[in-house]
Structure 1
Amino acid sequence: MGRTNPTYRDFLGRFEDRCQPFRRALRRDSKPAFDEIFEQANQHADAAGYLNSTDPEFAVLLSVLVAQQRELQTLREEVRD
């Protein structure tokens, strides 16, 4: 991604725009969780950009999974302590 391909951040913005009808259909209490998913994907944009994938949606999912796993590990440590 970059010179010949759109950047990952560009893709992520367009992907989030494409998902807005889904967000609008969510219940009010689920919308913050939806927004947090894209925040998590943005937090890992540097790593996802290095992937230079032909399927950038895979990078979005991988970014969210990494963020979810980190949060799960943090919660497990808190429970253990």
Structure 2
Amino acid sequence: MGRTNPTYRDVLRSVHDNWEDYRRALRRPDKQRFDRLFEDARQFADAGGYLNPQNPMNAILFSICLAQEQRIEDLEAELEGERAESPPATESGA
């Protein structure tokens, strides 16, 4: 017997294809950002597959948000590491 529903990865690919006209209208740097968002969504495709959502866009957008949150946390940790490594500022008052 075959599947009654397409896989989440198939749905994700279909959504990406449906947005191709939008992507085509973007400027080159924004096209790269657009592609990265869908790469982020694919990063969490296993979790989206478990959800089997009726509206896959919700899972796609949540996956993108989750990847963005991960990226922000990584940048914050990197920034905190740089702050810890830099010498403290000295006051010159007298």
Q: Tell me the TM-score normalised to structure 2 length.
A: 0.81
Structure 1, unaligned runs of 5 or more:
none
Identical positions, percent: 49
Alpha-carbon offset, residue 3 of structure 1: 2.7
Structure number with the higher helix fraction is 1
- After TM superposition, what 4+ stretches of structure 1 lie above 4 angstroms from structure 2? none
Q: Tell me the TM-score normalised to structure 1 length.
A: 0.93
**Which one-letter code corresponds to 2:30 in the other structure?**
S
Higher relative contact order (CA 8 A, sep 6+): 1
Structure 2, unaligned runs of 5 or more:
82-94
CA offsets, 1:43-79, max 9 Å, x none?
Answer: 1000011111111111100110100000000000001
Q: Which has the larger radius of gyration?
A: 2
Superposition RMSD on alpha carbons, in Å?
1.2
Q: For residue 15 of structure 2, what is the aligned residue in structure 1? A: 15
How many aligned residue pairs are there? 80
Q: Aligned partners of 1:3, 1:52: CA distance in 2, in Å?
A: 13
